[in-house]
Each structure stands twice: as C-alpha cells, then as structure tokens.
C-alpha cells in the first residue's frame, strides 16, 4: 500500500540528508563504535547543513518549520544505513530535547540557547532516570534548593544519552522534596558548572557509538534563570506533555530499523545457498519474510498516522504509547527472526544484522518500558 505521509519538500530533504549521512556518518561509524562516542563535530556539521533545530525560528538560526515529517525522514535515513547508535544523539537533540526548549523557554532563554542548539554548538540531553528508581520518576531524590538567585542541585542521574557530549542538560529535580509529582521542576544544568561531573561512559550491550553516561551533581549552583517554564512544581506536567513525541520518535525509528533488518535479510537469502538452492526459495524462508514484511507495513501506516496526529496537535499519550510498545516489540521480533535466517553468520558481530540485534534491545526499555506503555494504555481504557 502506497504511503502518503511525505510531500515533495520532504523527499528533497531526504535526498540532502541521505547525502550527508553517506558522507559524514557511514564512513566513520565503525570507528565511533570502537570509541564509544561520536565527535562533537558531527553536531556542528549537522547544524551547518541545516539538519538541527528545524522548528527553531529563523531569527535564532533554525529552519522555522514545525513539521515532524522532517524529523521522521531523518530517523528513517539514519536507521536505513545501520547508523542507529550514531543517529540516536541527533534524534535525541531534535526529537526529544528541543521540544522542551521550544515550549518552556522564556524570551531570554530562547535568545541564550536556541542559536547554539540550531548550530550544534550546544548539544542537549535530558536527565530523568536515577539509580534505583527506574520508571518511578516521582520518587527521584535529586534536589534543587533555592538559595537567593540560584538553586543548589545535589543528586545523581544515570543512563543519560548524550551524557558525555552534552552542554545543556534538562534535569528533573525536586524543588520541593516534601512533595512527589507536585515537587518536580526542570532546570537546565550547563557544561562547566562547578560540581557538575560526568561519570564513566557506560559499557552497553548495543548502541556502542552513543555516549550514555552517569551524571552527578554536588552543590551545583544553577541560576534560577535556568528554570524551565517560569514556575516551580511544573516539571512532571512538562515531562508528561512531551513524552508522546518522544515515544513516537522511538516507535517510528523502530519501524525503520525493522525495515532495515528485513532488507539485509532479503539480500542475504537471495545469495546464500543450501542444498544447491538459495535459502530464500525455501517455503519457511518465504513465509517468515512474508510475515515480517506484512507486520512492518501495518506498523508503518500506524506510525505515519501518529505523525499526522502529532503535527495536528492531536496525538494522545495512549496512542503514542501504542506506537512505542508495539513497534519496539516488532523491531525485536524482526531482528531476531532475520538473524535466524543468517544462521551462524548472524551471530558474528562483523555482520550488520548482529549489530542491529544488539542495538534493538534497548528500545523496549528507554523512553518508558513496554510494561509502562501497557499501563498508560490500560488507564486510558478506564481500568
């Protein structure tokens, strides 16, 4: 079934971004996997090329276009070349962090931060998760206690994407430790603030080119001017308001990753022979690949509809949770069944399908686990 999500402008943008990916990411991705991090210059190069901050107003150096379809194109192209890990930092910057700056910054903050976000000089991250609390954000213990014109921030965060490279960290804190949800606020902690330290770059199962770090805050004095939204106690509502786009972004990328794995496998089974014939000609192979192709197409049309709903301001938390839950679970099934068709070669890390398998595992965890997605959906049913 023909897709109707994209228009000519999006396809022209796709051509430009694909050229960028092939020139600036693909040749270096293996080296970045070994290093465990992408160079900061990748963000600057993406910024100069117009691939960061597409919705940032032109006066601040952005594209001035609020249309998530451009973000979707980027996610598809990054997944389609096997650069999930390197691309995650760019997607986090554009899809997940930028909406907080766009929605909650005052005029002074916009002038201070948006130009650097658009240019790639200021790399962004968001710090919610803490050691020991998992998805229970209201139980966080990181505090920001007001002291004159500053907050004094103490605590720790973990599993922070872009954690090493980040210059601006949207940090969930308790400005009122006596409260749970109502005590949460978001403050922006900046690179170089005394007492703000980055721990080790975490050694992960997959996504090796993506820096994922532990962060610690010891009496960090953060100006009150770095509070997002202008009022304390709004942090939980701000997080909830932006989670649908974050979860759609993850679900959308998961479909693109599944399609990439299917493409790798189709190429392989047409060439690999067993018993004198291509293994793709066996009925089992045909049936498996027919099932996966069908499931991917069905998921694609759902996430395309979610993108339209997001741009129309109609995407609900439940619908975004469905996209994230179903599509990341689908991604896991697809890469697993595709790897099986590679036989022993699929277990070799030199084969892209093995990397896709390892990279896929985390998508059912970050941005809210599958179990949390089901909880959101269940509550939407009045249960």
Q: What is the pLDDT of residues 24-64, one digit of tens each?
A: 999 999 999 999 999 999 999 999 999 999 999 999 999 99
**pLDDT confidence bin for 137, thresholds 50/70/90:** confident
**pLDDT confidence bin for 1, thresholds 50/70/90:** confident
Q: Which of 246, 350, 371, 375 is catalytic?
A: 246
> In this model, does residue 135 exceed pLDDT 90?
no
- Reported pTM: 0.96
Is 246 tagged catalytic?
Answer: yes
Strand partners, 215: 157, 198
Q: Which domains does the chain have, with CATH numbers?
A: 8-122 (1.10.540.10), 126-232 (2.40.110.10), 236-381 (1.20.140.10)
Mean pLDDT, range 127-139, rounded to an integer: 85
Mean pLDDT rounded to a whole number for the chain: 97
| Pair 166, 125: CB distance under 8 Å | yes
> In this model, does residue 111 exceed pLDDT 80?
yes
Mean pLDDT, range 97-109, rounded to an integer: 98
- Residues 352-361 pLDDT 10s: 999 999 999 9
């Amino acid at each position: 079934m023909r897709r109707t999500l994209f228009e000519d402008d999006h396809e022209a943008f796709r051509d430009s971004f694909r050229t960028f990916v092939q020139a600036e990411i693909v040749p270096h991705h293996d080296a970045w996997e070994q290093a465990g991090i992408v160079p900061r210059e990748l963000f600057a190069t993406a910024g100069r090329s117009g691939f960061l901050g597409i919705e940032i107003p032109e006066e601040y150096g952005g594209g001035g276009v609020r249309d998530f379809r451009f973000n979707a194109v980027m996610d598809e192209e990054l997944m389609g070349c096997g650069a999930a890990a390197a691309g995650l930092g760019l997607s986090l910057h554009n899809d997940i962090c930028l909406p907080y700056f766009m929605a909650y910054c005052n005029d002074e903050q916009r002038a201070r931060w948006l130009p650097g976000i658009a240019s790639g000089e200021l790399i962004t991250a968001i710090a919610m998760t803490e050691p020991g609390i998992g998805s229970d954000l209201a139980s966080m213990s990181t505090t920001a206690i007001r002291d004159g014109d500053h907050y004094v921030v103490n605590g720790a965060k973990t599993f922070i994407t872009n954690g090493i490279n980040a210059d601006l960290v949207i940090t969930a804190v308790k400005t009122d430790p006596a409260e749970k949800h109502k005590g949460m606020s978001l403050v922006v902690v900046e690179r170089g603030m005394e007492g703000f330290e980055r721990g080790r770059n975490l050694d992960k199962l997959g996504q090796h080119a993506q820096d994922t770090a532990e962060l610690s805050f010891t009496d960090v004095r953060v100006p009150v001017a770095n509070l997002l939204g202008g009022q304390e106690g709004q942090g939980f509502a701000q997080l909830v308001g932006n989670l649908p786009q974050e979860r759609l972004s993850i679900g959308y990328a998961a479909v693109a990753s599944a399609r990439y794995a299917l493409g790798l496998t189709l190429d392989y089974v047409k060439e690999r022979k067993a018993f004198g014939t291509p293994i793709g000609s066996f009925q089992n192979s045909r049936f498996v690949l027919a099932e996966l192709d069908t499931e991917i197409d069905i998921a694609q049309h759902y996430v395309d509809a979610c993108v339209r709903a997001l741009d129309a301001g109609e995407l609900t938390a439940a619908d975004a949770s469905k996209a994230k839950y179903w599509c990341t679970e689908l991604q896991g099934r697809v890469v697993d069944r595709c790897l099986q068709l590679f036989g022993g070669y699929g277990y070799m890390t030199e084969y892209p399908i093995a990397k896709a398998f390892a990279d896929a595992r985390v998508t059912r965890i970050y941005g809210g686990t599958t179990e949390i997605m089901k909880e959101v959906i269940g509550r939407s049913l009045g249960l």
